[in-house]
A and B are shown apart, each in its own frame.
Chain A
Amino acid sequence: MSFLLKVENLRIELRMRAGVAPVIDDLSFELAHGESISFVGESGCGKSMTALAIMGLLPEGIGRVASGKIWFDGEDLVAASPARLRHIRGNKIGMIFQEPMTSLNPVYSVGEQIAEVLREHQGLSRKAAWAEAIELLDAVRIPNPETRATAYPFEMSGGQRQRVMIAIALACKPKILIADEPTTALDVTVQAQIFDLLRDLRRQTGTSLIMITHDMGAVAEMAERMIVMYAGRKAEEGPVDKVIAHARHPYTQGLISCVPHLVAHLTEERQDLNEVPGIVPGLAEFGQGRCLFASRCARATERCLTTRPEEIAFSDVHRSACWHAEGM
């Protein structure tokens, strides 16, 4: 099977005052054409950094890819020139960010902000790009797109702004859409609408999707496969239904039990845990040679504290990085 995106042993380092910390430590995963995967995990575990690394947008002077490869369509993005990355960004890979309120430029109309990307990558004329921008606003279900195209971001609600961001990200029909917590900043009913929209657009365009979220409910709804991240490392990876039915990592189990209806609905198994006690370790601890979840894990043994767990495969598609995964 040929992959659209293949990340190999990615290590991202952040330069901190106290030294260098690996925010992403030896991460590998693949994304097939048209597939939808989801990254889950608590705040600060490096989900956004992974997305930014794919885009080549790690914070300048702070973050860098220290080793590993990001293969996109047969090309290593880590080694790609800035010009090449510019050609891919917004064109072949589109991205939606977490904060719709601040992600659009306040001094340009939303129509211009969509048209701009079309002019840049598709060489459309001003007029053609504007017409296409109106089409796109219509596609993301903004009412009266002709008049709304001239509106400024501050004249729109958060949900509408996120729709505009989606229109921008999908304008050039990218092969991959990265959505970094696209609904976290929105209220619940709007969240559902945005997910509906993303699902429909994906069905129409066949775009692959990488969705980053805290929300296990959204994962179940949106993705085929999921990757659970913990402290810069992959904890578990597998098809969403398999993982939810039988999580092979204590952290995943904890996350799932936070959303009771998910478990009750999909499986008879119920965990005692109803939250994951404790907090994510600080960045300074990220590189340590042990299981970083051990301080919060009820199953932790001596081995967990001294060696980093290796990935164990349960089938071709289901993998867990836990010393005691087999017993679960």
Chain B
Amino acid sequence: MDVLRITFLRIVYSALLLAAVVVLNFVMIHLAPGDVADTIAQSMGGADAEILAQIRADYGLDQPFIVQLGQYIWKVLHFDLGSSYYYNRPVTELILERLPATLLLVITAQTLALVIGVVTGVFSARRPNGFLSHLVTIVAFFGHAAPVFWTGILLLIAFSLQIHWFPVGGMRDVTVTGGFWAHSFDVARHMVLPVFTLSTTFLALYSRLCRASMMETLGSDYVRTAKAKGLPMRSVVYKHALKNALSPVITLAGLQFSAVISGAVLVETVFSWPGLGTLAFQVIVARDTPTILGILFFSALIVIAGNLLTDLVQRLVDPRVRTGQ
């Protein structure tokens, strides 16, 4: 019962958060100088006050603020985010077209960073003065200090322009023919550098935290108990120590989720990956407000979904979270 209630509460909070993002979006449109009428008038090559008033009436812009807000929320609830000035297409359509590419990049990078981070973290915790431990420290330092776009450009120069191992950018090669596997392989090849670039920063972060957290649990009383039970080392390390050590790593991964997404914007731009990031870059340059806000809305949606997911995983791993203790 408790579990259901807490999960329900989490969903309600998430919905409220999303509503706040929508309202903020709207306020931002409202505060921006000029409105849709001006933009349309401009594209018509100018208009007089009467026509402007007509346009405002058509778009409901003469209504009071609160009514307009209501209408906006109503529209957003129906996934109607308006029309892009730049592409002249519905924003939702535009975003949904780009979303899979971004999700593919973000989820792959995050998963990879977590898996490798945890594995290296565990190994270096068992040998705190070993080679791997020091390597992780150095990589962590670089991962933290080097901006994503810089790493990206360096990798691009080295592996694509100099030794031609990987494509220079994009997500697919139009000349590739063949079935599903041929295309999957093509996408995978395009993904290598962007995913690597995006995951390095976070990988190092997760690895460091996992190492610290593992060292703590390995020295804990319950690990001593596990040893006193005569359990094999594998069980002591992975079953007893790691499951406890994962908690903070999962929490951090959840917190970093928004950072991964903003990192994705840069990585996509560097590697011309056809996702939300490149779209965001284009429409910001073009001052395409509805699309920018649409992307903000979807990013918020992804981050909130990511947090909910984190919560869920946390619950699976730690019974104390499950019962809210």
- Chain A residues within 8 Å of B, Cβ to Cβ: 55, 57, 85-91, 94-95, 97, 99, 102-109, 116-117, 120-121, 152, 154-155, 165, 168-169
A-B contact count (CB 8 A): 75
CB distance from B296 to the nearest CB of A (A): 38
Q: Is the CB of A89 within 8 A of B225?
A: no
CB distance from A195 to the nearest CB of B (A): 21
Q: How would residues 74 to 97 of chain B score, 1 for a CB under 8 Å from any chain A CB and 0 otherwise?
A: 000000000000000000000000
* Bound Cα distance A95, B232 (Å): 17
Q: Is the CB of A116 within 8 A of B221?
A: no
Task: Count contacts on B: residues with CB < 8 A to the other chain.
Answer: 22
- Contacts A107-B317, A152-B319 known; A97 to B224 CB distance under 8 Å? yes
Q: Is the CB of B228 within 8 A of A90?
A: yes
Q: Is the CB of A106 within 8 A of B319?
A: yes
Q: Is the CB of A103 within 8 A of B221?
A: yes
Nearest opposing residue in chain A for B244, CB measure: A107
Which chain B positions have C-beta within 8 A of A88? Answer: 230
Q: Is the CB of A57 within 8 A of B230?
A: no
Q: Does B208 contact A (CB under 8 A)?
A: no
- Chain B residues within 8 Å of A, Cβ to Cβ: 220-222, 224-232, 235, 240, 243-244, 317-320, 323, 325
CB distance from A180 to the nearest CB of B (A): 10
Q: Is the interface of B mostly helix, strand, loop or mixed?
A: helix
A107-B320, A116-B231 given; 15 more Cβ-contact pairs under 8 Å? A86-B232, A88-B230, A89-B228, A89-B230, A97-B224, A97-B228, A102-B220, A102-B221, A103-B221, A103-B222, A107-B318, A116-B229, A116-B235, A120-B231, A165-B225
- Contacts A106-B244, A154-B325 known; A86 to B230 CB distance under 8 Å? yes
* Bound Cα distance A55, B323 (Å): 36
Which chain B positions have C-beta within 8 A of A102? Answer: 220-222
Q: Is the CB of A97 within 8 A of B227?
A: no
Q: Is the CB of A105 within 8 A of B320?
A: no
- Contacts A152-B319, A152-B320, A154-B325 known; A105 to B226 CB distance under 8 Å? yes
Which chain A positions have C-beta within 8 A of B318? Answer: 106-107
Which chain A positions have C-beta within 8 A of B230? Answer: 85-91, 117, 120-121
Q: From B224, B231, B317, give the contact of A57 (CB < 8 A).
A: B224
CB distance from A107 to the nearest CB of B (A): 5
CB distance from B227 to the nearest CB of A (A): 6
* Bound Cα distance A105, B317 (Å): 13
Name the 10 nearest CB pairs between A and B, nearest first. Answer: A90-B230, A89-B230, A90-B229, A102-B221, A105-B222, A86-B230, A117-B229, A103-B221, A152-B319, A95-B228
Interface centre among A108, A168, A169 (most CB of B within 10 A): A108
Q: Is the CB of A57 within 8 A of B227?
A: yes
Which chain A positions have C-beta within 8 A of B320? Answer: 106-107, 152, 154
* Bound Cα distance A110, B121 (Å): 28
* Bound Cα distance A254, B231 (Å): 42
Q: From B225, B227, B319, give the contact of A104 (CB < 8 A).
A: B225
Q: Is the CB of B225 within 8 A of A97?
A: yes
- Contacts A107-B318, A154-B325 known; A168 to B232 CB distance under 8 Å? no
Q: What are 11 A-B contacts defined by CB distance under 8 Å? A: A57-B224, A88-B230, A89-B230, A97-B224, A97-B225, A105-B225, A105-B226, A105-B240, A106-B244, A116-B229, A165-B225
Which chain A positions have C-beta within 8 A of B231? Answer: 86, 90, 116-117, 120
Q: Is the CB of B222 within 8 A of A106?
A: yes
